[in-house]
Structure 1
Amino acid sequence: MCFWACNDSSALQAQNPVIGVTPRYCNPLPMEIGPGANASGDVTVLNDNGKYYMVCTGGGAWVSDDMYNWKYQLVTFEGTGRIPTAPDISKFNGKYYLCGNDSPLYSADHPLGPYKDLGPWKNTPGLEGGWRTAFDVHIYVDDDNTPYLYWSGGGVSGIYASKLDPKDLTKFIGTTKHLITFNNEHIWERYGEMNEYPDVAWIEGPWVNKINGTYYLQYSASGTQWKSYANGYYTSKSPLGPYTYAPNNPLTLNTVGMVSGTAHGCIIKGPDNNYWQFYTTVLSNPPGGRRIGMDRVVFDNQGNMSVKITDVPQWAPGKIKDPTKGNSGSTQVTTNKMRAMNTLSKVSSEQPGRDAAYAVDNYSGTWWEPDPNDPTPTLMIELSPATRFDVVQLYHVDGVRLMFTGGRRSVVRPAANTPAPAQTFVFKYKIEVSMDGEKWTTVLDQSNNKISRNTIYEEIPPVKCRFARLVMTDWPKESPLGVIDFALFGIADKEVQPAAQPIPANFLGK
């Protein structure tokens, strides 16, 4: 029996992927910021005949044909209405349905609307059935075309579900089922950065898939403010249970680096006919700052799911034959090299308490802030700082990730169907490389960038170098420039050089 989704060879674009030719992605995903809309967590993706529609807390939608290139699109409503917090998008009998926290159910003839307000949820089960309000609701349509609603009861109460009336999805029918609840023996479910609260939790974010006859109920804990935020799952042979706790939980857990707090998302089938996990990522600072990530789902012979959270470039969906070999081989080559022994790394300016080293510390709670009077802030990294006992390792640099300050509360959401307030998140920059710290070559020029994003990933044609630098040419002037992350990716070259090499004094080369 094939538990792992079988590959569709017709969807594969490259049997032998090549860096610089075959597309790659890198987490957190570089989502465009639309007018009054930011992809800031609680992500749901609808696969509608090979076109992918993503909705998130923060408003708007993002559309893709390949699950690699995402384009922001406005979602419209008839009269009043807006994308709710923790939105869920689904399709039933040719109609599209949108719902979320404290919101009515909306329907439309197109995933982008215009959506009509169908009114509040009717004959809800009440407190005894876990219904306090519409919270993290998810509509799942089984393969027999029966619709179900799953929701979180809040706090430790767990996840509930009920059938919906196929003639009116706002109505519950049948008996409400209490599917799972908090179990403090599952230490990862406990509240707190170190799961230190034994009797406190927040069980939320239900999502259901049916794969090879098994229902997978995904849920999140311990809370979206913690980097311990993670996904787990239960399995059942019925959509309403009983559900059994998976032996390899948690499914997604990562508390370090730029991709942490990996929870509240969804699992969908991608263009390669394999399953992919989308998830929220939690920034260490500012409070509430969140991004989006995705990674492949793999099934073992017993049907257990696993997801390896990644923070380096991966081959894009549908571009490789074996989805378990997503890593392209590139690794981060800038981390902590502002403070390494004997480093020649330098910066043009920095504010007190906002050191340049914070841009390369692989931590989302700190950032580099240059002097406001610095017209072209420049951060140069020696990729191979060495003591006199070491050789100098050269690298083939092939990608860059940039993250700038600005969390989910940075974007002002407009009222329904009204123009968004004037905001810009357009960052302009160049990446330059050098072998000697004196002669520089531009390998990526985004000085004319017009795309609004606070997280960026760009491919660089592989180039060998010892030094690399980020040159900021323009940025939103409404607030100080803050660079959370400047991560270059690459692969070590076979060539090495002696450690003692004369370097010109003016190696910023400005």
Structure 2
Amino acid sequence: MAVFCCAALGATGGAHGGEAPAHTWANPVDVDYRYNFEQMNEGTSYRTGADPAVVRYGDAYYLFMTLADGYWRSTDLLHWAFIKPDRWPFDSEVAPATLVADGKLFLMQSATEPRPLLVSTDPARGHWSFWTRLLPPVPGAVSSATEWAIKPGQLPPGPWDPGLFQDDDGKVYLYWGSSNVYPLYGAQLDMKFGDAAEGEGKRLAFASQPQPLLALTPAEHGWQRFGQDHTDNRTTPFLEGAWMNRHANRYYLQYAAPGTEYNAYGTGVAIGDSPLGPFHDAPYNPIGEKPGGFVTGVGHGSTFEDAYGNVWNTGTSWIGANWTFERRIGLYPAGFHADGQMWVDTRFGDFPHRMPDHALKDGEDTFTGWMLLSYRKKATASSSLPAHPASAVTDENPRSFWVAASNAPGQTLTLDLGGERTVRAVQVNFADYQSGRYGDAPDIVTQFTLEGSRDGAQWAQLADLSHETRDRPNAYIELEQPARLRYVRYVHGHVGAHTLAIADLRVFGNADGPRPAPPTLVSATRLGDTRDAEIAWTPVPGAVGYNVRWGLAADRLHATYQRFADQPTHLVLHSLNKGVNYVVAVEAFDEHGVSTLSAVRPLPANAKAQP
């Protein structure tokens, strides 16, 4: 390899080492998702992360998720360090709940029978103790042995998918439920702090009887229908993932539907005037949905404030290459309008975003404007298995992937961007093709280097992760300086899997030239089933893709369906709610930037909008 000054690429240096001073991130969140034993008996090996619960405790953020055997800590929401706790009675927690109360951090796992509630005042060092070794049984719930013999008035085993919340008056509430039969439940807990907490068995009890709070009604709410793009009307959807926030004296009970194994897994919210309701479903649901793009699905997560008061929402994203429940997590800006409407912004939700170091102003966007430069670009590799060619790494599909003929250092994967571009960031998304790993091991680390070239002959180093000490299944690297180049090359060092497989090598930055013209929105038609609408627009020459955006008003187009330009320029939306008036618009994007919006068209509740 010819080595020369990075200034020849139009940059003053690359991002060196595993922890460059990044200021941006791109979903999926770049953490060392753990190999687990869930499908070991079936011979299926994969890394996964789901059901994220993020909480701010002290000067740091803590991230808990399903099947992790520990948790992550960050001080900036960008760099996450895995913590293996010293006391961990869980057989790998599932869908955990967190609570900060009385100066302590509490952690509860999903359970179908009484299990521990843990507490820590030093989670940074992994020190935990028991608040109570066994939670009190849920009043009225049957045991797990009789789960399917539930009589009227009885509750299913639980609490599964729990959520914990402390109100301003100090009272603590528990929410739970994960079922396509039963509703979400809630109850007040008698949680004793200070001098009243005189021992494990006396610290916690139910202070009220559990009561049903929320059920799905997919016949009225299109986004609650099961299946890919909400097209399965035969399967009963799942309701799960309760999370509670209070804002301006209203209570926002968030929930996930219709199923984690599809692109349309979303987050809804029901609003009440007290912690146990009654709740009414928000007409603008889902507040979080991302059915298109590389990362799809945002359901079952958490909503929290950062150190500056900015609101964030986490969610579960679908991979599903090795097994149905292979997943990742995403982080998205969120917030509340002055009238109380809650929103989650998933527009360009898998492109780079800036992490703010201040309180965001109303309407301030975190999107960097760095565009996808790698879509459908030519890719070549040093070796490939016949069924997994290099071309798979530019299709924006995590379920297709390149597999090298051997997992040996020096294997290369090269992208030709088709011309010189200004490159700002690269994301390497590994796949678990016959990975053969279960649990943790010292050799499960990710090591590689990135190189760039203007002519394909002379190469300079862009990033060096050859001495990385952690696993990076979705390694995101922001270059310290923008690099002017045409070619990007991945040079393999090591992965813990038995094979080297990469789902997508995604490159972000900008091409020279003006941003695209806006598309013309040809028609927006509410269909006979008013949960559905068909949107059609004119193609824009040179566009990489389009965002179909809809919402309750022109200044509240919070829902986005991302489409690529090699897909049809019409879309049938299945996410609408009966009786709700919407508006819709479309924007185009390419390697230069994003167009202005098309004209906004109405999608009235009870009549078809005419072209």
Q: C-alpha displacement at 1:35, in angstroms?
A: 9.1
**Counterpart residue type for residue 122 of structure 1:** P
Contact 1:105–1:170, Cα closer than 8 Å, also in 2 = no
Change (3 A) 1:29 1:444: same
Match of 2:72 in 1: 62
**In the alignment, does 2:382 pair up with 1:348?**
yes
CA contact (8 A) 1:95 1:107 kept: no
User: How many Å separate the matches in 2 of 1:235 and 1:76?
Assistant: 39
> Which amino acid is 2:128 matched to?
P
Query: What does the per-residue CA deviation read over 1:106-150, in whole Å, with 9 as the maximum and x for residues that have no partner?
Result: 232334332325214335232535342221011111111101110
Residue number in structure 1 paired with 2:485: 465
Q: What letter corresponds to residue 62 of structure 1 in structure 2?
A: W
What is the correspondence of 1:325-340 to structure 2 with a 5 Å cutoff?
325-338=365-378
**Per-residue deviation, 1:430:** 1.8
Q: Which residue of 1 aligns with 2:181?
A: 156
| Cα distance, 1:275–1:375 mapped onto 2, change above 3 Å | closer
Deviation at 1:29, TM superposition (A): 0.7
1:448 paired residue number: 467
Give the conservation status (yes or no) of the 8 Å contact 2:408–2:492: no
Relative distance call for 1:240 and 1:320 in structure 2 (3 A) is closer
- The one-character-per-residue Cα deviations of 1:341-365 (angstroms, maximum 9, x if unpaired) are xxxx432221011011111110010
Task: Report the counterpart of residue 451 of structure 2 in structure 1.
Answer: 432
Q: Deviations over 1:302-359 (max 9, x none)?
A: 2111112211110114257447310111011011112xxxxxx432221011011111
Unmatched segments (≥5 aa) in structure 1: 1-18, 339-344, 385-391, 414-420, 496-510
In structure 2, how many angstroms separate the alpha carbons of the residues matched to 1:207 and 1:362?
31
1:28–1:311 CA contact under 8 A, matched in 2:
yes
Relative to structure 1, the CA distance from residue 401 to residue 218 in structure 2 (aligned partners, 3 Å threshold; closer, same or farther) is: same
Query: 1:251 aligned to 2:271?
Result: no
CA shift at 1:211, angstroms? 0.8
Select the residue among 312, 321, 332 that pairs with 1:285.
Answer: 321
Aligned twin of 1:400: 426
Structure 1: distance between partners of 2:286 and 2:319: 20
Say yes or no: does 1:490 pair with 2:501: no
Distance in 1, Cα, partners of 2:438 & 2:320 = 21
The answer to whether structure 1 residue 106 and structure 2 residue 125 are counterparts is no
Once the two structures are overlaid, the 10-residue window that deviates more, 125-134 or 177-186, is 125-134
Match for residue 504 of structure 1?
none
Matches within 5 A, 1:240-389: 240-287=276-323, 288-309=325-346, 310-318=349-357, 321-322=360-361, 324-338=364-378, 345-372=379-406, 375-384=409-418
Q: Which amino acid aligns with 1:334?
A: S
The amino acid of 2:155's aligned partner reads G
In 2, Cα distance between equivalents of 1:371 and 1:34: 25
Equivalent residue, structure 2, for 1:125:
140
In structure 2, what residue type is equivalent to 1:312? F
Amino acid in the other structure paired with 2:397: Y
Partner SS for 1:109: strand
Cα distance change of structure 1 residues 257 and 377 upon mapping to structure 2, 3 Å threshold: farther
Per the alignment, in what secondary structure is the counterpart of residue 325 of structure 1?
Answer: coil
How far 1:446 moved relative to its partner? Answer: 1.7
The CA distance in 2 between the partners of 1:123 and 1:217, in whole Å, is 20
Report % sequence identity: 26
The alignment's C-alpha RMSD in Å is: 2.6
Confirm whether residue 219 of structure 1 aligns to residue 255 of structure 2.
Answer: yes
User: Could you tell me how far apart the structure 2 residues matched to 1:169 and 1:193 are?
Assistant: 45
Deviation at 1:90, TM superposition (A): 1.3
Q: Equivalents in 2 of 1:314, 1:301: separation in Å?
A: 24
CA contact (8 A) 1:268 1:276 kept: yes
Map Cα deviations across residues 468-489 of structure 1 (whole Å, 9 max, x no partner). Answer: 222213333x511110110011
- Deviation for aligned residue 1:22: 6.7
**2:292 maps to amino acid:** V
User: Residues 115 and 317 from structure 1, CA distance in 2 versus in 1: closer, same or farther, beyond 3 angstroms?
Assistant: farther
Q: CA separation in 2, counterparts of 1:282 and 1:45?
A: 19
User: 8 Å contact 2:255–2:267 — kept in the other structure?
Assistant: yes
Most deviating of 263-272 and 167-176: 167-176
Residue 94 (structure 1) shift: 3.6
Q: 1:490 to 1:161 in 2, by over 3 A?
A: same
Decide whether the 8 Å contact of 1:216 with 1:233 is kept in 2.
Answer: yes
* Counterpart residue identity of residue 354, structure 2: W
Partner residue in 2 for 1:40: 49
Deviation by residue 1:140-170 (Cα, 9 ceiling, x = unmatched): 1111110111001522322110011123564
Deviations 1:396-425 (A, max 9, x none): 101111111239x97644xxxxxxx53533
Matched-pair contact (CA < 8 Å) for 1:66–1:271 = no
Partners of 2:106 and 2:120 within 8 A in 1: no
Q: What is the TM-score when the length of structure 1 is the normalising length?
A: 0.83
Deviation for aligned residue 1:71: 0.9
Give TM-score, length-normalised by structure 2: 0.69
**Which residue of the partner structure matches residue 25 of structure 1?**
25
Question: What's 2:225 paired with?
Answer: 190
Counterparts of 2:359 and 2:104, CA distance in 1? 34
Query: Partners of 1:410 and 1:347 in 2: how far apart?
Result: 23
SS in 2 for 1:359: helix
Query: Is contact 2:53-2:96 (8 Å) kept?
Result: yes
Return the offset for 1:244: 1.2
Contact 1:27 1:259 in 2 (8 A): yes
User: Which range is displaced more, 479-488 or 128-137?
Assistant: 128-137
Distance 2:320 2:359 in 1: 33
Contact 1:97 1:107 in 2 (8 A): yes
Contact 1:131–1:153 (CA<8 Å) still a contact in 2? no
Task: Report if aligned partners of 2:117, 2:135 keep a CA contact under 8 Å in 1.
Answer: no
Q: Secondary structure at the match of 1:306?
A: strand
Q: Quick one: distance in 2 between partners of 1:410 and 1:29?
A: 23
Moved more, 452-461 or 165-174: 165-174
Residues 57 and 105, structure 2, Cα contact 8 Å, conserved in 1: no
CA contact (8 A) 1:76 1:115 kept: no
1:278 is displaced (CA, Å) by 1.0
SS of 1:450's partner is coil
| Distance of 2:491 and 2:105 partners within structure 1 | 45
**1:381·1:468 contact (CA, 8 Å) conserved in 2?**
yes
The one of 68, 77, 84 equivalent to 2:93 is 84
- One-letter identity of the residue aligned with 1:293: G
Change in Cα spacing, 1:306 to 1:166, as seen in structure 2 (3 Å) is same
- Secondary structure at 2:157's aligned position in 1? coil
For the structure 1 residues 428 and 45, does the alpha-carbon distance in structure 2 shift closer, same or farther, using more than 3 Å as the test? same
